[in-house]
Structure 1
Amino acid sequence: MHILNLIKTILPLTVLLLLTACGEQTQIKQNGLAYCTEGSPSSFNPQTATSNVTLDATTSQLYNRLLFIDPNTQQFKAGLAIDWEVSEDRLSYRFFLRKNVRFHQTDYFTPTRPFNADDVIFSFARILDKKHPYHDVSANGYPFFEGIELDQQIQSLLKIDDYTIEFKLVLPDSSFIANLASDFSVILSAEYGDTLIALNKQIDIDNLPIGTGPFKFKEYRTDNFIRYQRHDDYWGDNAKIEHLIFDITPNASSRLAKLLTKECDIMAYPAASQVEMISKHDRVKISVETGLNVAYWAFNSEQAPFDNPKIRRALAHTINQETLLQAVYYNTGVNAKSILPPVSWAYNPYLKSYKYNLAYARQLITEAGYPNGFKMNILALKSSQVYNPDAVKMAELIQSELAQIGIEAKIIKYEWQLMEKKLQQGEYDSYLLGWVADNNDPDNFFRFQLSCNAINTGSNYTRWCNSEFDDLINQAVTETEYIERVTLYYRAQEIIQQELPLIPLAHSLRLHAYTSGLKGVETTAFGGINFINTERQ
């Protein structure tokens, strides 16, 4: 084809595509909003995930759970279950399901029936039954459920009728309801699962999601954006906005620039150093929530010299928490004495902090057989997190203190997907991470991260196992008396402080920045964000 004719052919098409794209973006801006998030989700199914990035992008946008935790009262409230009953022996939990709940209709799936008991059975059987056709579809397994040993808690899950199901437990478990209300316990479509099996596309269940949430999946471009559209057949009040864009922007400065230029309406996790400047900007607001979270420095306790508690205690004495709060958190956090934050009802206020004392730290490492120090590495996330606004800077401050007692620390920076792989493979000496509670039960902080079973399931990266600690947390979930549970959790925290598989560093406030023209931005102490009530004023 002659070049002039080629240009005449291509030019109108290009203009048309540009005009279409511009028109679409204008429509999205008028009828929706853009949320600048800090990373890409590892999956579009929270059952298979561990990261807050994935939970933010999925749980409250795409799915529902049987019940929720009210962010204001911390009480359980109805979700896909309108009511529930617990037997006197606390071994049977019967749920009465909501009727006329519609699953998403998309380009890749059209449901023919509403939500019912089969969907609850499917969603949990996938996790519990190793012979289930979808059990092995997840390459990552089901980290949260494996960490809390759900398969050992549930004896059976029965369908009583189309809108009634019953869980039967092996032993009483005070954390069971809270775990069903966690961000991981979403309900999938059994009909969609059957459709994918017929097409031999089972892997799509976690990548092309179908749920009952207020938004449905439209498009995902890796490391660029996620696009959602309002689910107009939602069982509750419809979302106020029609379109929702997750703009993936790992760098906090870039997220702030997009917020100030109105490319984004809401910014996830502003850097602590940015808070004062943002608060002075008349077109931007800061939302601040007390967070049920903790940042910590943890160790590979199967590897020398970190298998020696004396070495771990020595390292605790190199931490200057006041410096960390000022230089990393800019006073948007508080000192941590325990893995549990002070707002938890099981927090032990009698714990004493390890005092910053380099001379004593050097004495301890000498007594442990390392008078000349040693070399080690510290893994740190590149992106800011709810619990830690700048892990790399924190690592640099720790590195500087370690150098003064003869320890040469190398900082290795990763994005979460690669860091998670290194942790699962045991390729590290220490790491800076943290935890954001998924519910208000203290067990949520302990079992998933520090139980012996969680080593086998891959979520206890410290690889620390203590039988007394395990006995305490196991007994605590079988108790019904508040005082008994508190006493057991107090002792569990004492063991962590003595053994130090990890060093609690800080509890952070949860921060979001958004344009002043928005209202109804909902965040919770558990780390999630919900856009169903968000709208422009």
Structure 2
Amino acid sequence: MERFPLKPVLLAVGLLASAPFAQAASTLVYCSEASPAGFDPSQFTSGTDFDASAETVFNRLTQFKRGGTEVEAGLAKSWEVSDDGLTYTFHLRPGVKFHTTDYFKPTRDFNADDVLFTFERLLDPEHPFRKAYPSESPYFTDMGLNESIKSISKTDEHTVVFALNKVDAAFVQNLAMSFASVQSAEYAAQLLKEGKAGDINQKPIGTGPFVFKRYQKDSQIRYDANRAYWKPEDVKLDHLIFSINTDAAVRLQKLKAGECQVSGYPRPADIDLMKQDPNLKVMSQPGFNLGYLAYNTTHAPLDQLKVRQALDMAIDKPAIIKAVYQGAGQLAQNALPPGQWSYDAKIKDAPYDPAKARALLKEAGIKEGTTINLWAMTVQRASNPNARLSAQMIQSDWGKIGIKANIVSYEWGEYMKRARAGEHDVMIYGWTGDNGDPDNWLGVLYSCAAVKGSNFAKWCDPAYDKLVQQAKLSSDRDERVRLYQQAQVILKQQVPITPIANSTVFQPMRKEVQDFKISPFGLTPFYGVSLAK
């Protein structure tokens, strides 16, 4: 076995300029961009949802070091992997407390039963809790963990064993991701007894650095510090408040006024203005992200390759990058960002060619004036700061080749729900890597296993899928690179998506914010963050 040791109050709606929440030195207000769809991390794939739950309330067996992609111990203090790569033994951290709230008071510490409940619920459609509260876990299934995990067992209160059906080269990294947040089995049993299983998504209980207090949709979320946290140096705030503001201009005003100390997803046009404010600082780093279009290949006429090729080559991508990203985005030609190992720099776009696009549509039998629904997000994302403007520019480009694009938008949670159901024709979306492994892109976004989850192209290509699955089974990095680069060629040829841009990530905040670290995974974590006195 290869051993891995441990490495070292209801507030009024809105924020009032005359009495900002920030008046309390230990209260940090984050101006967030949207309301979460819920607080059970296993159900979601969005940073908005993970910020409000996994990054505040919960922990995982393993975790990523702050600001990096390296895995370290979390609720598991150490682990071992068998020589054949099929058995993972996790040794759990003793003395970890679940949150005490007005709706749950734990009678015991975190133990192996909580890990078993968390993952057995995800694995077994007939699990009693899942029967009481039917829910899907798109990330879990998109990554094929429902097939790769054979069983989970405990040898004692602080030892859990995962047996796999097949080797998964990124298994430890996968368990550090937000969807794998560990739930309380005792709390789940209480909810079942009370007939309130759905509260697991509305009133979360975890072991994380912040305790959930209240949520007011489209207004605010309030958390208090977890004073019993197992890693006390990560809790430096008394209170954390998410002030939800979908308008980037409003978030900027509140940041400048001191009504929030950190703000999410600024408009590129506002970056210089923020940098000129003596009370603000703007952190930045190259984004590990991709903004793209997904073509629903189950909808006619998008089921035809020639149609997808035509739509792809009719988009003036440099114009979108100039107008939407305003200097904070780079042209994307591949389905991976350049910073991801196995990225194939030889992959190139088809030339921008409206005339050839028209000819392809004619060959495909597409009539002039054919309507296609183009979905646009209503929230700013790291991968696309203005999806509406992007959609309008694509609408104009497609109009030049005889395609009428009807722009459709929904509130963020509804947008994601409907997209997973496959209601869209074409949708603007984006992705930020979650674990540093290529499978997080090529498997989660485009594999056959992910067509009911984050594969919004609903594209399933057996040749592509075989390569991606083979790559997951190998522990030889060079072999994985070879397989993934072959898969990238197929993906580019079949055009289930149009890559648009890789953006630079900017994180504005007040100067009193200390030790904030930008997550490479597009999350907004506040553990370890403090405010200068």
Change (3 A) 1:315 1:105: same
Conserved in 1, the CA contact under 8 Å of 2:21 and 2:29? no
TM-score using structure 2 length: 0.94
Structure 2 residue corresponding to 1:58, chosen from 53, 59, 67:
53
* Alignment map for 1:330-409 (pairs within 5 Å): 330-370=326-366, 372=368, 374-409=370-405
Matched, 1:504 2:505: no
Structure 2 residue corresponding to 1:290, chosen from 286, 291, 315:
286
Q: Which residue of 2 aligns with 1:91?
A: 86
Structure 2 residue corresponding to 1:433, chosen from 429, 435, 443:
429
Conserved in 2, the CA contact under 8 Å of 1:295 and 1:507? yes
AA in 2 matched with 1:258: K
Identity value in percent: 38
State the secondary structure of the residue aligned to 1:431: strand
Partners in 1 of 2:25 and 2:279 — Cα distance? 18
Moved more, 304-313 or 420-429: 420-429
Structure 1 residue corresponding to 2:206, chosen from 211, 216, 224:
211
Conserved in 1, the CA contact under 8 Å of 2:139 and 2:453? no
Moved more, 351-360 or 26-35: 26-35
Q: Which residue of 2 aligns with 1:519?
A: 514
1:201-252 residue CA offsets vs partner (Å, 9 max, x unmatched): 2111221111010000111111110000000000002411100000010111
Conserved in 2, the CA contact under 8 Å of 1:336 and 1:507? yes
Q: Which residue of 2 aligns with 1:177?
A: 172
Instruction: Give the alignment's Cα RMSD to 1 decimal.
Output: 2.0
Q: Which residue of 1 aligns with 2:160?
A: 165
Matched, 1:35 2:23: no
Q: Which residue of 2 aligns with 1:246?
A: 242
AA in 2 matched with 1:99: P
AA in 1 matched with 2:227: D
1:459-507 residue CA offsets vs partner (Å, 9 max, x unmatched): 3221211001110111000011111100000011111100011111111
Count of paired positions: 518
Partners in 2 of 1:392 and 1:295 — Cα distance? 13
Partners in 2 of 1:487 and 1:192 — Cα distance? 46
Poorly superposed stretches of 4+, deviation over 4 Å:
21-28, 137-140
Compute the displacement of 1:453 (Å). 2.2
Partners in 2 of 1:66 and 1:435 — Cα distance? 24
Moved more, 224-233 or 412-421: 412-421
State the secondary structure of the residue aligned to 2:459: coil
Structure 1 residue corresponding to 2:218, chosen from 223, 227, 248:
223
Change (3 A) 1:484 1:59: same
Q: Which residue of 2 aligns with 1:260?
A: 256
Q: Which residue of 2 aligns with 1:191?
A: 186
TM-score using structure 1 length: 0.93
Compute the displacement of 1:418 (Å). 1.9
Partners in 1 of 2:21 and 2:361 — Cα distance? 62
Structure 1 residue corresponding to 2:63, chosen from 50, 55, 68:
68
Compute the displacement of 1:26 (Å). 5.8
AA in 2 matched with 1:428: H
Moved more, 155-164 or 408-417: 408-417
* Residue segments in structure 1 that go unaligned for 5+ positions in a row: 1-16
Structure 2 residue corresponding to 1:232, chosen from 201, 210, 227:
227
1:264-313 residue CA offsets vs partner (Å, 9 max, x unmatched): 11110001121122122221111213222111111111122111111111
Partners in 1 of 2:133 and 2:342 — Cα distance? 34
Conserved in 2, the CA contact under 8 Å of 1:48 and 1:138? no
AA in 1 matched with 2:408: I
Structure 2 residue corresponding to 1:326, chosen from 322, 326, 332:
322
Matched, 1:472 2:470: no
Matched, 1:535 2:530: yes
Partners in 2 of 1:514 and 1:333 — Cα distance? 21
Change (3 A) 1:265 1:164: same
Matched, 1:313 2:299: no
Conserved in 2, the CA contact under 8 Å of 1:365 and 1:373? no
AA in 1 matched with 2:380: S
Structure 2 residue corresponding to 1:462, chosen from 457, 460, 469:
457
* Residue segments in structure 2 that go unaligned for 5+ positions in a row: 1-11
Compute the displacement of 1:176 (Å). 1.3
Conserved in 2, the CA contact under 8 Å of 1:510 and 1:525? no
Partners in 2 of 1:201 and 1:227 — Cα distance? 22
State the secondary structure of the residue aligned to 2:475: coil
Q: Which residue of 1 aligns with 2:122?
A: 127
